[in-house]
Amino acid sequence: MSDPIRVLVNGARGKMGKQTCIAVDAANDLLLVAQLNRGDDVATALEKHKIDVAVDFTVPNVVFDHTKTYIDANVHPVIGTTGLDEKQIKELQVMAREKKLGGIIAPNFSIGAILMMHFAKIANRFLSHAEIIEMHHEKKLDAPSGTALKTVSHMQTAQLACEHNQFASRGLIKNNIPIHSVRLPGYVAHQQVILSGEKELLTLRHDSIDRSCFMPGVVLACRQVQQLDELVFGLENLLDL
Ligand code: NAP
């Protein structure tokens, strides 16, 4: 049997970090060797523990610097923290490409959510107008969600169905698709993509009801990143869709 993959979890005390530690611990081929929290020095830990894969579930304002540190140390990044913008993602991808280092940035590790995005992309070829409503818990730091932004990046509508988009309540419009963000206690992570055609509507809805739903995707990513030679954006890159 080959050596287990040595995994570091950054943000280990957080809600996603805790779940990740449990999932990594339970996987025979993964070894949880380091758990980092706010205040820990990332570069020192990577070197000290001989890390293969770093999983990051921290906060938006530090994830860019963390990811640069992983890449600099030739550690494969598995980035779940949301909030990276397009420019930052491109910069990180260039850094990883120069080193031929595999990694993943995934705004959503749930398989069901990836399927929702995939179906939305297919449906959008036939149903020309769309809006998104995403609902998350009240502690989420970014809005709209990374998943909503990723969904619209796969979609494009020629024009908005409604002409009255000057009101804030029409949402944030990306690729001619309004995104509406709801933040309330009780939600985990939920999204509806509503598409409309000629006198018909199609609603695709995905609900993450417990954070453990992200773990099969996180474990899959930990297992596969070493075989990649670039930093891919989205779990769909690891699934045979
Ligand atoms: P959380 O419970 O607030 O956890 C974040 C953790 O990061 C906290 O323990 C926090 O520590 C820690 N932290 C803050 N600054 C840090 C630093 N500089 N270095 C190391 N750790 C630091 O949030 P969460 O719900 O787990 O979510 C974490 C991130 O994952 C968010 O960006 C969220 O949007 C994203 N997320 C992604 C997915 C996905 O599938 N990709 C799914 C769910 C959530 P303190 O407690 O000391 O502040």
pTM equals: 0.91
Closest-CA residue, ligand 1 atom 30, reads: 81
What is the model's pLDDT at position 109?
Answer: 96
Q: Specify whether 140 is catalytic.
A: yes
What is the model's pLDDT at position 21?
Answer: 98
Identity of the residue numbered 220: L
HEC string of the chain equals CCCCEEEEEECCCCHHHHHHHHHHHHCCCEEEEEEECCCCCHHHHHHHCCCCEEEECCCHHHHHHHHHHHHHCCCEEEECCCCCCHHHHHHHHHHHHHHCCCEEECCCCCHHHHHHHHHHHHHHHHCCEEEEEEEECCCCCCCCCHHHHHHHHCCCCCCCCCCCCCCHHHCEEECCEEEEEEECECECEEEEEEEECCCCEEEEEEEECCHHHHHHHHHHHHHHHHHCCCEEECHHHHCCC
Catalytic option among 66, 129, 136, 206: 136
Peptide bond into 60 cis (omega under 30): no
CA 228 to centroid of ligand 1, rounded, Å: 25
Q: Specify whether 100 is catalytic.
A: no
The pocket around ligand 1, CB under 6 angstroms, is made up of 10-11, 13-17, 36-38, 57-60, 62, 80-83, 106-109, 140, 214
What is the model's pLDDT at position 128?
Answer: 87
CA 10 to centroid of ligand 1, rounded, Å: 9
Pocket residue to mutate for ligand 1, from 35, 55, 58, 84, most atoms within 8 A of Cβ = 58
The series of mean pLDDT values per 10 residues for the chain, 241 residues long, is 94 97 98 98 97 97 98 98 94 98 96 97 94 97 93 87 92 96 97 95 97 97 98 96 91
What is the model's pLDDT at position 157?
Answer: 78
What is the model's pLDDT at position 156?
Answer: 80
What is the model's pLDDT at position 31?
Answer: 98
What is the model's pLDDT at position 66?
Answer: 98
How far is residue 52's CA from residue 168's CA, in Å, rounded to a whole number?
45
Closest-CA residue, ligand 1 atom 28, reads: 57
Nearest atom in ligand 1 to the alpha carbon of residue 83 is 32
Catalytic option among 66, 76, 129, 140: 140
Q: What is the dihedral of CA 21, 74, 141, 215, to 10 degrees?
A: -30
